[in-house]
Amino acid sequence: MEHLDKHELEQFWQKVQDALINEQIDQFRAEFLEIHPYDQAKIFEEQPEEIRFLIYTYLSPEEIAEVLEQVDEDLVGEFITEMNPTFAAQALAEMATDDAVDILNDLDKNKVASYLSLMKKESAEEIKALLHYEEKTAGSIMTTEFVVVQTDQTVKQAMRHLRKEAPEAETIYYIYVIDQSKQLVGVISLRDLIIAEGDWIISDVMSDRIVSVQVGENQEDIAQMMRDYDFLALPVVDFQNHLLGIITVDDIMDVMEEEASDDYSKLAGVSDMDRADDNAFASASKRLPWLVILLFLGLFTASIIGRFEATLDQVAILAIFIPLIAGMAGNTGTQALAVAVRGIATGEIEKQGKWNIVKREAITGLITGVSCGVLITIIVYVWQGALFLGLLVGISIMATLFVATIAGALVPMLMHRFKIDPAVASGPFITTINDIISVLIYFGLATAFMNLLL
């Protein structure tokens, strides 16, 4: 299948659109089905409703299913619900089971029940088996379309079985081996199966050193495992080691994108990433909870500054350096936070050790603090002609950057320790906490050495 860039897609669609509108079905199908399903999906997403209805008419449920598997997950539910229910049910049945489950999980339960009732019993049962698993677990992202062989089969028998099952399987690069009680006991690669002699027994050519995951395991941990082992697929088992399904690399790529978007939204202080089609009220409802929390933290910061009113009255020039010190604390804290959250997500922190990371960040904070402290001391002295004021601001910057860097690294680690998503230690949150720390350090030092400033 041919892949097209954006400009080529536009040219292609102009050529095909006439055939679609003029009901030249054979020409439309010949052109549209020639290109890659991803390109089909990008074209499909851009069409108005009346054009999409024509496409539903001209393509079979199986062909639409291949397109929908490539459609943006935020749009696919809308497309499914606008179709004729019977046609939609047939399309869902033609999809990879895990993809169909992902779509149905986002739909109203009554609609899900309706689609399942319109499917063939076998397809409906496969989908129902996955729907009850908790979201973001191995069970929710696995597929049941895989190839298994028995330990006592010959290679020739296994190859015959593989040829029969391959058209329906999501991947055939790994063939999993089960025993008489349907427990997972081994795996054989397609390459090893092809080069083996036909009369060899599967148990003699399989590898029994197999890595599997439990059905309830978190999808983020599974993504980490597949990255570490460079697997194309990973078997999913229950507590008795019965093979339930497999997770393929394309599923993990979707998981990584989902987790990255989720972490980014939390780092931005948003409970759930805004969608382009969200209205203003929906966007505000997602952002407001964090903003309210930060509002009260900001009021707490203001109340701390209020307690040092007497200090400000005596040395009013101190006020002009508050944004500088607070801003520097927020910036360095956010940098350390990003390093810590990434380290937790990739597993680097477990390899290097939490305290080694904290120690490294503390030294980094000390170096950057001393450097910025000396620089700002010189600048303030030249600008204001006040040595002690320069020293006060410089020492405050040094102490603030040191403490803020440690806080930025330590807070997400503590949250991770208590099973809280470290990404919720978001940029705005850590910035506000460091504002409080910086104000306490700055005015604490100013109050303590007031006689040198007057």
Give pLDDT, residue 454.
Answer: 58
Give the 3-state secondary structure of residue 142: coil
CATH of the domain spanning 148-260, picked from 3.10.580.10, 3.90.1560.10, 3.40.50.920, 3.30.450.40:
3.10.580.10
Give pLDDT, residue 155.
Answer: 93
Class of domain 6-134: mainly alpha
Across the chain, mean pLDDT equals 82
Share of the chain above pLDDT 90, in %: 22
Domain range list for the chain: 6-134, 148-260, 280-453
Q: What is the pLDDT of residues 254-267, one digit of tens each?
A: 777 766 656 555 55
Can you tell me the mean pLDDT for 426-453?
A: 76
The answer to which of 42-46, 197-201, 316-320 has the lowest mean pLDDT is 316-320
Give pLDDT, residue 202.
Answer: 94
Three-state secondary structure string covering 210-222: CCCEECCCEHHHH
Q: What is the pLDDT of residues 102-139, one digit of tens each?
A: 889 888 888 888 899 999 888 888 888 888 888 888 88
Hey, which of 10-19, 173-182, 289-298 has the most confident mean pLDDT?
173-182
Give pLDDT, residue 174.
Answer: 92
Give pLDDT, residue 436.
Answer: 82
Which amino acid appears at position 36 of this protein? Answer: H
Give pLDDT, residue 276.
Answer: 47
Give pLDDT, residue 34.
Answer: 83
Give pLDDT, residue 290.
Answer: 64
* Per-residue CA distances from 252 to 116, 127, 138, 221, 249 (Å): 26, 19, 10, 10, 5
Q: Of how many residues is the chain composed?
A: 454
Give the 3-state secondary structure of residue 380: helix
Q: How would residue 207 be classed by pLDDT, with cut points 50, 70 and 90?
A: very high
Three-state secondary structure string covering 104-137: HHCCCHHHHHHHHHHCCHHHHHHHHHHHCCCCCE
Can you tell me the mean pLDDT for 209-217?
A: 91
Give pLDDT, residue 38.
Answer: 85
Query: What residues contact 442, with CB distance under 8 A and at least 6 apart?
Result: 318, 321, 322, 325, 392, 393, 396, 400
Can you tell me the mean pLDDT for 1-18?
A: 67
Can you tell me the mean pLDDT for 371-381?
A: 89
Q: How would residue 156 be classed by pLDDT, with cut points 50, 70 and 90?
A: very high
The answer to which of 157-166, 211-220, 307-316, 363-372 has the lowest mean pLDDT is 307-316
Query: What residues contact 233, with CB distance under 8 A and at least 6 apart?
Result: 146, 171, 173, 174, 246, 247, 248, 249
Q: Is the pLDDT of residue 389 over 70?
A: yes
Residue predicted with more confidence, 70 or 349: 70
Task: Using CA atoms of 212, 216, 218, 223 in order, give the dihedral in degrees to the nearest 10.
Answer: 30
Give the Cα separation of 237 and 378 in Å (integer): 65
Residue predicted with more confidence, 443 or 94: 94
Q: How would residue 86 be classed by pLDDT, with cut points 50, 70 and 90?
A: very high
Q: What is the pLDDT of residues 278-324, one digit of tens each?
A: 566 766 666 666 667 767 777 777 777 777 777 766 667 777 777 88
The 8-class DSSP code of residue 424 comes to G
Give pLDDT, residue 162.
Answer: 92
Q: Is the pLDDT of residue 236 over 90?
A: yes
Strand order in the sheet with 213-214: 213-214, 233-237, 243-248
**Helices first, then strands: H and E counts in the chain:** 24, 6
**Stretch (H or E) spanning 263:** helix 249-267
* CATH architecture entry for 280-453: Orthogonal Bundle (1.10)
Give pLDDT, residue 164.
Answer: 92
pTM: 0.58
Pairing relationship of beta strands 233-237 and 213-214 according to DSSP bridges: parallel
Q: How would residue 186 be classed by pLDDT, with cut points 50, 70 and 90?
A: very high
CA torsion sign for 219, 224, 230, 236 is: negative
Residue predicted with more confidence, 171 or 348: 171
Beta-strand (E) ranges in 287-363? none
Share of the chain above pLDDT 70, in %: 84
